[in-house]
Amino acid sequence: MKTIFKNKSILITGGVGSVGKEIINQIFKFDPEIVRILDIDESHEFELEHELEQKLSAKDFDKLRFFLGDIRDKERLERAIEDIDIIFHTAALKHVSSCEYNPFEAVKTNILGLQNLINVSIENEVEKVIFTSSDKAANPTNTMGATKLLGERLMISANYYKGKRKTTFSSVRFGNVLGSRGSVIPLWIKQIKNGGPITVTDLTMTRFIMSIERAVELLFKSSEIAQGSEVFIFKIPAVRLNDLVDVVIREIAPKYKFNPDDIEIKIMGLKSGEKYYEELMTEEEVTRSLETKDMFIVFPQLKELINKEYLRGLGATDVHSSDYNSHKMPILSKEEIKKILYESNTLL
């Protein structure tokens, strides 16, 4: 990866979000030339700039550039992308409920904004563009998942019509990233701090989880081996919500001098667009995929874009696992959940 990122100019869209910030935390290990951060959130960008000024060395901080702007604005993207080599595209509307009640806003950011990015990247011959998708793109039942699925398809098709330009476009699918802004655990911790109740949609639900650090580590690995058109899907563990809730209550309540048994759990029912379980990929996608120890690699239906042999040369094999449905795969024990939560600093 040092070879991939060394002396490269990197753009992170949505850079003040949880994944964007972790990319910044890790990218300087690989000695990039410039790291640009593009985000529409002025206040969080201001706070991040001052946070990084304290955290980073003077040499690394001098490599940062902060751009305020919206990916819906193609003209602003053109300025942000100038002389950029690699783009990590994390900017999106990500909350299921918000997208469900404001579907065209999700379309404008997650689809039209992405198409702006693709067009400008081709025009400027960026080397690689990596789009961060979601497990909700597999058999989507909500607007957010549908926009992420279409985003993956836009990335695939960009490789088809880019002509002789060098840019390659690939995608990665994340599960639920622990501790990310707007995720459920920070909300539960706040509710426990106030003595409860803790609100849960349905205790029988299952979800895939991953730490932010692990997500970015695998994101970098994908960008290293991406040839264009692949969807990289990380193998991540599944949890049952009742186990996750119990661990959080028992670990957090005593810190605020509450008895865990006194924290009420209030069942809210599924929100619009939510599923009882998640899928990493569909059964149809399995038929055109390879896998490694860490990930599944889905190839496009457009056979002209398939380059499986390169990845077979890196050790990828035909898919022999069926662990892509959170209801069907082994569920983490409470001890395993607790270990992951502490390792990811989610409970600190």
Q: Which residues does the annotation mark as catalytic? A: 136
Give the phi and the psi of residue 160 in degrees, each rounded to 5.
Answer: -80, -40
The three-state DSSP-derived secondary structure of 220-242 is HHHHHHCCCCCEEEECCCEEEHH
Q: Which one, of 268, 275, 209, lies nearest residue 239 by Cα?
A: 209
- CA 274 to CA 269: how far, in whole Å? 10
- CA 171 to CA 156: how far, in whole Å? 8
Quick check: helix, strand or coil at residue 88? strand
DSSP 181-208: TT-HHHHHHHHHHTT-PEEES-TT-EEE
For residue 160, give both structure tokens: 């088809």
For residue 194, give both structure tokens: 């106030």
Looking from the CA of 1 toward its CB, the CA atoms found within 13 Å total 14
For residue 315, give both structure tokens: 């050790």
- CA 107 to CA 110: how far, in whole Å? 5
